[in-house]
Structure 1
Amino acid sequence: MAHLLGRTSMGRQRIEIRRIDNKERRQVTFTKRRGGLFKKASELALLTGASVAVVVFSEANHTYAFGHLSVDAVLRSYAPVPGEAAAAAPVPVHGEDVDLHWLRIAADEIGAQVAAEQARMRGVAAQIVQAKAGRRFWWEADVDALGEAQLPEFVKALKKLRDNVGRHVNALLAPQPPPLLLQ
């Protein structure tokens, strides 16, 4: 049936795990399996956050390596080179790994900044709520009770409120077009 549909491969089948005698078939299998192994290693690292390093030596003495973030970084984090101080975050040496390494560092720094700003804003909100004490609306807060850090945020909020009220007033006062008469 597969031959009638124009397919020439045998598709995916179970094979006996033993050495392949034909050198060309062995090389093709090596290349495909190596790619699959590296893909699995990459997925394992991304899904679990594990440090993964895979090194493969071919029959022709070629070396192929995959490391997340890099093979050197993974190996040094578990077995530091004698006489070399172990770095807290080793810098990878190869292409995309370097980019990924610096992107992760930048993302961590931005995440820390966002968390700090959120904490600061929660503090500002809490102080504004405290300054509001007994008043009906937040904009009636006791400005003298606010500190230097809270005043700029309070001013921004007041300006935003003023702009929203101004837009609403303008929309209400704008001349309305006459209704369409349908016949």
Structure 2
Amino acid sequence: MGRKKTQMELIETESARHVAFSKRRSGLFKKASELCTMCAVEVAIIIFSIGGKAFSFGHPNVHFVFNRLRCSENPDASTSSNEAAGQDPILHDLNKTHSDLIENVGLVKKLGKKMRRAIMEKQKPDWFYAPRESLSMEVLYEMKEALEDVQENVRRDKERLLAQA
């Protein structure tokens, strides 16, 4: 079951409208957070519900973003949050580190898949599929030893299982 396209019109029932508001609000805040993390930007969002309650999201925080906006509109105004301005490079570094770590995790996963594939391909020796007539004496002795090892392992497993029963 996929997503349905919703009509952009006023939702009539108040309870359904409240549910849609809550879901859309959290989705909007999540997207804003992702934008901040991926692009190292500053975002502030304020939403007022039907009941007049304010919901806000800000990165690094709402006050910092509004103070910065106020200063960019009025260069003579002084900022009241000098401490928040000091956090900006730290947050930028943390966001960059987070992005780098996510990228490294992806690379490690790809490398792990390649290694598992290589191990699966190398589990059986080359002589396993070769015709016996084409093998040299050295390879045939190696094959004999490998088969004897397998036989011994099977015998030990059989004895262990019989002892458990």
| TM-score, length-scaled by structure 2 | 0.47
Higher helix share: 2
Point out which structure has higher relative CO (alpha carbons under 8 A, 6+ apart): 2
| TM-score, length-scaled by structure 1 | 0.42
